[in-house]
Structures are given as C-alpha cells and as structure tokens.
Homo-oligomer: A and B are copies of this chain.
C-alpha cells in the first residue's frame, strides 16, 4: 500500500471525525435530542429541557471538552462506579505506553528504518508515492548493527509495560478493597446461590434448604428463596404491561380515536373496553401461572442469605456435601443483576451448554473468516480485477483504487465486527451465567479473543482456516512465519486504526445508532410516552476494541513505528470522548468492582509475548541470530512476571479476604439499621415475575410513574 492510500484514508476519516464532533456539539443542544445525548443528566434531573430557541444552539461549541477533561477519578468513582474507573485507566494505561513507545519509535526507530536500503532508498522528493514499507523494519539491511537499537527498544518497552502493569494491578486491587470497604451493606454480600440441591422424596426444595442450613449453620443462616423457572409468567406479565401502557395512552387521547372498525362488518368497538377485558384475562392467566410455578419443583436452586458476610463467604468457599456435585455454591449477583431466562440448576445441563457454546464459538470463528478473506481480496487489487473483470475500468481511477485498497477493507471488517459483540453476549447468556455482569465479562473475553484471532491472525496469515490451523499445529515455526507476514500487513492495520478506531470513537460521541433509532421512533410511532432509558456502557464491545488497538501497537511498535502516532490520536480521542459519555450518557447498571482488569492484564501480557515471538523471527530473518537468541529470555521472564501477578493480585478479584469481611461485619453489629436491612434481604431475591403485577416502579424501564413522564416528553 502506498503512502497516498493511507493519506486518503486518514483524510476521509479525519473529515468524518470533525463532522461527527461538530454535529454532536450542535445536536447536543437541541432539546429533542436530549434523550440521545444526555439521557443520564436528564434522568438525574441535572438538565432541564429548554424549549426557548436561540441562535447559540446552532453554533458548534467546545464547552463539553473542558468539562470532560476536568472530571476527577473520585467523581467518576462515585458517579459511574469502579468499572468505569478501570475502563478509563485502561485507556490512560495505553496512552502512557504509547507515549513512551511513540517517543522511541518516531525519534529513534523510524530514522533507523528510513536510513536502511534493503528495499529501496526513500524518495524524499516524492514521499507521497513511496511504499509504506520503507518506514518499517523491512527496510533495515540484513545483519546491520542498527538492528541492536530495535533489540534494545524491545527490552525497554517490555520493562516499561511490566512496570506499569504491576503498578496498575496494585492500584486497582487496592481500589477494589477500598470500594468494598466503603460500601453500604448490600444484599449480594450476604447471599450465595446454591444449585443442585438434593431433595429427598416427599419433601420440597425449600424444606431441604431449610433443614440443611439450620442444621449446619444455625448461627449464621438467615433465610432463603427458591429459584423458579418463570419465563412463561414473565412473558405474560410483559404482555399485560404493554397492554396497560396502550390503555393509558388511549385514555389520554381524544375520545373519537377510542373506537376502531373491526373486520368487514364495520362495527365500531370500544377499544378501551376491549383492551380492558384482554388485560383482565392476561392478569388472570399470569396469576394462575404464578401459582403453578410456585408449586413446581423443577429448579433445584435457591438464594440463601446469611447474617454475616463472613458466614456467606465460608459457605461459598467450602465444599458442602460429600457429593461435590450437590449443594454447589456460587456468589450471588446483585439483585437487579440477576439474569433469569436461561437459568439452569442442573450440573450436567450447565456443563453441556458450556460445551455447546465452545463449539458455537469455534463455528462462528470459522464462518467469520469468509468476510475476512473478501476484505483481504480488496487490499489486493489485481486479485479483484481477476475476480470481477467488469470493475477494471473503475479501478484504474487513482482515487477509486485508493479508496478500495485503503478505506473499504477496514470499513467492511468494522461493519462485520459490529455484530460480533451481541452474538457473543447471547452465547454467554445461554452458557449458564446467572448475572448480566458475568455474562458481559464472559462475552468480553470471547469478543477479545475472537478479535485477536479473526482480525489479527486471520489478516496476517491471509485467511484460510487450514492455513491458520497448520500454523498452530507447527509451533516451532511460528516466530519465523510471524516475522514474514506481520510486517507485510503494517499498512492495513494503520488503515484499520484510522477507520475503525478514529471513526468508531467519534461515532460513539455522535451515537449514530441511538440517534437513528430515536428519529425512527419519532417518525413512525405515535406514542411518545416511553421513558428515557439510560444506557449502560457495553464493556464487552468497548474493552476488546481498546485492547486490540493496544495489541496492534505493541506488536507493531518496533516493526512499523509509523502506526504509533495514529494510535496515540485514537487513545486521546477515546480518553476525552468516553469521559464525556460517562458524564452525559452512560449510567452503571451493575458493578463488578474492577473484575475487568485481569482481562486487560492478560491481553497485554499476550501482546508482549506475541511481540517477542515476532522479534525472535525478525532478528533471525535479518541474520542477527545473537539478538534472536537474546530475546528468548524475555517471553520467559514476562510469563513469570504474569504468574507472579496472578498469585499476588488475582485472588483479590475472585473473592474478598476474611480480614475485610470480618471487619465489615463487626462495623455492622453496631448499626441500628441492620435489622431493617435483614428484613428486606429475605425478599430481595424474589423473582420479579412472581410478585404481584405492578404497572410502575417494578422494572428498570418503568422506574418512574407513567403519567408525569408522558407530560415531560413534549
């Protein structure tokens, strides 16, 4: 790929970014778009809709920038939770890494690369038509002593990154402890989920739980709630709620609309009456179903609450039964975080669904290679002309060919990648997790490795599944193969950073999809009484993206330092834009208290080892076998460092230590409000589907009274 093609891509995307930012700063000030751009502020009541028109509203402004910039970590922690802090720290971590890498890369490595003559001398007169390869390590002459600079920079960046990783892990784990320590008593701290409860003939699950825990934990056991299979009831209740809302809407409308012609006989029916009857029927059915579910015995699972956090924690950690597949314990999620639909209590059931999900992920990965191969075809123009001869005439135009090779491939990839996070989330949800946050974390991992595999490896090894598998099955030659193929794709990944990174981040600010949805509902639907739903940030979509750019940066750091400035721009954009979005748009729905960090840590370690493998290959390719050998200790030391971190910090992210639990419990003993809390605790984990049907304040989307909201949305 030529410099010109990259510049075309940079041009298009910079223009897009500027356009998005400008549009954002205008639209943000229009009251009718408040739901899209400041839903969080709206629901918190910090921003009032002003219908008065003034000219200022049409002029783009940068007022949001300083606000986002000034936000301190404490403010963020209190407003968006620890997960948001971890997310932002991931971005600043990348910023730090690539500032350091950028300085080395641009001021030291790039001049060295350019001074080489392996490929050809740089044509400084006409940089525009140079191939990007002259800026990469490929241009350094074989056996050149200059390669030792690359060697030292690999060592320097590894040490720097490991130091930062240790520091971050340490900081975040202390934050996690502090977060727990400062938290108010929360139901999930006192509760565990027990599955596979054995039931003797003639008794119920509830009896079984009651007798087990009163026998073995008489001093700490508090109460329990048996989990039911309620998907049918849930759907009935949802129908009822929808009908109720339609009824409310009808009531507030002029009376002539309340009648409707039914069928050919043109008989007018009182819609209010009609809907009222249907609602009653639905309610009846739902109640019937509720009582049936309460009698059914099919899920052998229960939420068991204890009087102390330490009590819950001991039951969670110890194997309870002589049969290790009975009385399986698990930490309970937050009550609003529980995910009911695919709840399965059976040990084998969950195991099999896990296996099926693994198979599905593998299939998805293989199927996804089809678009990747197509994209790879696009970067290779001559190949395209062979496939589609009729395109020949168009492709001869310089601009078109530059768009096709520089912009189109990564755009297509990006669009295909858009559908991956929802699919992975779905797969994780049927895997047996019982909380939204666990599903998100698992999906985050899936999306991450999918991206690494399908974007990075599939691109560098140009597509074919068999090719990739044969490489994995021949681990000895991986470094050599990587050394050949990775530098060759530098320009593609620069284009990818610019397209996927820059544009997706600025479109995150502009919120294209929510904007389109909002416009569509405004045009099509008559009803405007839907409440504003404050979205939560989809970590399983955004963390893998950030980390993948981190991986690209680390892998290409010493190969093609040209990529670093583009990455730095990306991370700066992400830094400011996500801070802004945390203030205005996203509100936390559930909290994992920093459990995403180990995922970040692991991927950075993987990126480092990948870089080392490439370095080994490159140095032996460049006939500098001493350097190639001397790199070998690096991956070993990096993995040992990782192992140390796993021992030193990871346990904090899986469970809280006894010391803290006991201290917190002691503090609570003197708290007068605890008895009230325990009273509530007994019913907190009741499935919402089994409670009496309420038409307001019982689900997250309905958390405000209906009528006032209808008044509010003009």
Contacts and interface: CB of A to CB of B under 8 A. Distances in A.
A505 to B, nearest CB: 36
A318 B325 contact: no
A652 B324 contact: yes
A324 B317 CA distance: 16
A124 interface: no
Given A314-B314, A470-B476, A474-B474, A320 B649 contact: no
Interface in A293-319: 313-315, 317-319
Given A474-B473, A474-B476, A325 B657 contact: no
Interface in A428-479: 470, 473-476
Contact of A318 (B324, B476, B658): B658
Contact of A473 (B470, B476, B656): B476
Nearest to A648: B325
A682 interface: no
Nearest to A180: B322
Interface string A311-338: 0011101111111110000000000000
Nearest to A320: B658
Contacts of A517: none
Task: Give the dominant DSSP class at A's interface.
Answer: helix
Interface size on A, as a range, is: 35 or more
A177 B321 CA distance: 11
A659 B476 contact: no
Contact of A657 (B177, B320, B351): B320
A216 interface: yes
A347 to B, nearest CB: 8
Nearest to A646: B324
Interface string A649-661: 1111001111110
A322 B177 contact: yes
A647 interface: yes
A216 B659 contact: yes
A152 B600 CA distance: 49
A662 interface: yes
A178 to B, nearest CB: 10
A655 B319 CA distance: 8
B475 A319 contact: no
Most chain B beta carbons < 10 A, residue from A325, A640, A658: A658
Contact of A658 (B216, B475, B658): B216
Contacts of A649: 324
A313 B320 CA distance: 12
Contacts of A314: 314, 317-318
A185 to B, nearest CB: 19
Contacts of A651: 319, 324
Given A216-B662, A314-B317, A662-B216, A657 B322 contact: yes
Nearest to A653: B324
Contacts of A317: 314, 317-318
A318 B313 contact: yes
A177 B662 CA distance: 31
A385 B62 CA distance: 90
A546 B550 CA distance: 51
A652 B326 CA distance: 12
16 contacts: A216-B658, A216-B659, A216-B662, A314-B314, A314-B317, A318-B658, A319-B658, A322-B657, A322-B659, A324-B650, A347-B647, A351-B644, A473-B475, A473-B476, A474-B474, A474-B476
Given A314-B314, A317-B317, 15 more contacts: A177-B322, A216-B662, A315-B658, A319-B655, A319-B657, A319-B658, A320-B657, A320-B659, A322-B652, A323-B648, A324-B649, A324-B650, A324-B652, A325-B648, A347-B647
